[in-house]
Amino acid sequence: MSSVDLDGLQERVGHRFADPDRLQVALTHRSWAHENGGTDNERLEFLGDAVLQLCSTQALMARFPEAREGELSRLRSRIVSTKALAVVGRALQLGPALRLGVGEDQTGGRRRDRVLACATEAMLGAIYEEAGLPACREAVLRWLGPRIDALEAQPGKGWKDPRSRLQELTQAGGGDTPSYRVQRADGPAHDLVFTVDVCLGDDVLGHGEGRSKRAACRAAAEDALSRLESA
């Protein structure tokens, strides 16, 4: 990756790294480290996830001062889901910059939601290590601000759990209750990623991923709502 590419990436991210090695680690998938040695981005991802939870919570509390704890939790799950973070990763153009192993690269890793979401969290973790929490708050607002602004502030729609909203939508015309089916669980036992389909009868309405079955079901309901409401 050329220095020009790195300059462009840092401009999009909104932070110029004093330590280029830290940036490279944030962009290093475990498949690359396995094949070539060195440090992968999983520790930075772990750190970035915690920082993201804090910064996004603070942003939501400022944006929705009347929202209660449960409502804030549901709002946060919408803006920091795997799919949402993958959207951020694509906007930052992280995919082409990632260091991936040959197999991961050949099977579409640069476009995979999970890979891009993890890289986004790792980038935030790297910013925290170098510049601390204020820089991370700025980055989160820059990356997620439009998505936060787009959240509807009505409890009946914007704050309600997506599974409840989906059930109301499908039952409005006397239809069935959606069911959720776990398709697979990937990764090590301490960091499983669940993939869930939400179905209405034999029809698959949406798909979701999450680090718990509950989070994956919520993501699947969000996906189904997006599809149904845009149809």
Kindly report the CATH number assigned to the domain that includes residue 56.
1.10.1520.10
Residues 106 and 199 in one domain: no
How many Cβ atoms sit within 10 Å of the Cβ of residue 18? Answer: 9
CA distances from 109 to 2, 103, 106, 147 (A): 21, 9, 7, 25
Residues 209 and 126 in one domain: no
Residues 117 and 183 in one domain: no
Q: Considering its fold, how many domains does the chain have in total?
A: 2
Residues 8 and 58 in one domain: yes
Residues 113 and 43 in one domain: yes
How far apart (Å, rounded) are the C-alpha atoms in residues 228 and 17?
42
Residue 99's DSSP bridge partners are 28
How far apart (Å, rounded) are the C-alpha atoms in residues 53 and 24?
23
How far apart (Å, rounded) are the C-alpha atoms in residues 144 and 148?
6
Give the pLDDT of the chain (231 residues) as one tens digit per residue: 434 478 999 999 999 999 999 999 999 999 999 999 999 999 999 999 999 999 999 999 998 887 788 888 888 988 999 999 999 999 999 999 999 999 999 999 999 999 999 999 999 999 999 999 999 999 999 999 888 888 754 444 455 678 888 888 888 767 789 999 999 999 988 889 999 999 998 899 999 999 999 999 989 998 998 888 675
| pLDDT for the residue 162 | 82
How far apart (Å, rounded) are the C-alpha atoms in residues 42 and 71?
30
Residue 156 belongs to some domain of the structure: no
Tell me if 205 sits within 8 A of 224, measured CB to CB: yes
Residue 157 belongs to some domain of the structure: no
- Structure tokens, 213: 């079955």
Residue 28's DSSP bridge partners are 99
Residues 138 and 167 in one domain: no
Q: Which amino acid is present at 31?
A: S
| pLDDT for the residue 155 | 43
What is the set of active-site residues?
A: 49, 121
How far apart (Å, rounded) are the C-alpha atoms in residues 165 and 150?
18
The domain in which residue 65 lies consists of 3-150
